[in-house]
């Protein structure tokens, strides 16, 4: 691989936990005092659809350089670990030992830059985010810069939400970037850009009245990052990140990987892009819309977000898999 190819390569990073793994449950119970049971919390339960993530990558993003699959140590039985593009990453392979074991997604995410062999340009996926139509490298990076939507928003606080974590991210942003007006003025054409969408532009105009950041638009889709951005944020916000990583379980006082996303926006590193997908919450009237979009490959990217309000989990799980099977019926080379 020549220098130009090395600089332009794009990796994918996927984090996953098997919430039904008895060994994982046993270790978790030693730290949280819970009884060992297969009935895990919503954010740990398994939808048994990960094979379609790999099928989507192979079919719709064959240009990807490497897939870094991050797990506690368990692996799907169907996964072919010899695939040349696959890098299996155990938490202990990259997370500093003083933060382990962790059952908190935030330390897992904010240390991603430490993954051995990770490219400078990478796209981060949660395990509920899928590629469901052809994508190009330019959907994620342009001229070596991450693509993202610029937009201000207000933080939503409600019980059992991530509003408090988002607030902690904003505390770090406002401590470092003393004037939101100056930040926006420096990259006005990015903050007010047709690719951000009319609603984002209007919200940004209204919320830029204050000289501090009240919040940012977040689309809950795969995020494009520079490895060097993580390093820069650790250099500037190390105490907050360290405190987060010492929490074995998620806390409202944590920061998360959105801090790095917001940092890239404030620095003007990111390039505006038209939203390439849609996030759906699997509840009530959203479910038929999500299933239709999935079945038809309506979006390039789709997020199927599990919630505490997802009723009749077993039935919805089957319907999701049935529709994935219609879109991606053939096994990928990542499967045995």
Q: What is the pLDDT of residue 6?
A: 54
Q: What digits encode the pLDDT tens for the residues 261-296? A: 999 999 999 999 999 999 998 888 889 999 999 999
Residue pair 7/120 in contact by the 8 Å Cβ criterion: yes
Q: Class for domain 3-327, per CATH?
A: alpha beta
C-alpha angle 183-226-332 in degrees, rounded to nearest 5:
135
CA distances from 80 to 3, 16, 333 (A): 30, 16, 8
pTM score of the predicted model: 0.94
Residue pLDDT, tens place only, 213-268 = 999 999 899 999 999 999 999 999 999 999 999 999 999 999 999 999 999 999 99
Tokens of 190: 């990015």
Note the pLDDT of residue 39: 41
Task: Using the predicted structure, report yes or no on whether residue 3 has a pLDDT greater than 70.
Answer: no
The predicted structure's pLDDT at residue 314: 85
CA distance 23 to 101: 13
Look at residue 159 in the predicted model and tell me its pLDDT. 80
Residue 154 is predicted with a pLDDT of 95
- Band (pLDDT 50/70/90 cuts) for residue 7 is low
C-alpha 199, offset from chain centre: 23
| pLDDT 10s digits, 20-64 | 899 999 999 999 877 554 444 555 667 889 999 999 999 999 999
Mean pLDDT of 146-152: 97
- List helix spans (H) across the chain: 3-8, 22-32, 50-60, 91-94, 105-110, 163-176, 180-186, 188-191, 198-207, 227-236, 238-245, 258-266, 286-296, 313-327
The answer, yes or no, to whether residue 4 has pLDDT greater than 80, is: no
C-beta of residue 171 within 8 angstroms of C-beta of residue 231: no
How far is Cα 126 from Cα 12, in angstroms, rounded to an integer? 11
């Amino acid at each position: 691989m020549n220098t130009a190819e090395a600089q332009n390569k794009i990796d994918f990073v996927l984090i996953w936990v098997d919430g039904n793994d008895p060994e994982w449950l046993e270790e978790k119970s030693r730290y949280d005092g819970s009884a060992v049971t297969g009935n895990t919390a919503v954010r740990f339960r398994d939808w048994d659809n990960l094979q379609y993530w790999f099928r989507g990558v192979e079919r719709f993003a064959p240009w990807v350089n490497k897939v870094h699959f991050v797990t506690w140590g368990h692996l799907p039985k169907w996964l072919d670990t010899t695939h040349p593009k696959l890098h299996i990453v155990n938490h202990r392979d990259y997370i500093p030992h003083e933060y382990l074991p962790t059952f908190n997604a935030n330390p897992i995410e904010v240390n991603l830059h430490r993954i051995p062999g990770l490219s400078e340009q990478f796209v981060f996926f949660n395990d509920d985010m899928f590629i469901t139509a052809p994508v190009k490298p330019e959907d994620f990076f342009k001229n070596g810069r991450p693509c993202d939507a610029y937009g201000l928003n207000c933080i939503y606080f409600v019980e059992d939400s991530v509003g408090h974590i988002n607030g902690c991210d904003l505390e770090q942003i406002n401590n470092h970037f003393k004037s939101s007006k100056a930040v926006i003025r420096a990259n006005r054409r990015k903050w007010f850009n047709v690719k951000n969408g009319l609603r984002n532009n209007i919200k940004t105009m209204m919320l830029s009245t204050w000289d501090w950041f009240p919040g940012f638009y977040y689309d809950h889709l795969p995020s494009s990052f520079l490895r060097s951005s993580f390093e820069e944020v650790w250099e500037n916000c190390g105490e907050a990140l360290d405190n987060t990583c010492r929490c074995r379980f998620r806390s409202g006082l944590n920061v998360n990987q959105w801090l790095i996303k917001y940092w890239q926006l404030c620095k003007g590193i990111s390039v505006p892009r038209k939203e390439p997908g849609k996030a759906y919450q699997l509840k009530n009237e959203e479910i038929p819309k999500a299933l239709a979009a999935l079945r038809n490959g309506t979006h390039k990217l789709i997020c199927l977000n599990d919630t505490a309000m997802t009723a009749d989990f077993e039935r919805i799980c089957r319907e999701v898999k049935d529709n994935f099977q219609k879109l991606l019926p053939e096994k990928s080379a990542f499967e045995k």
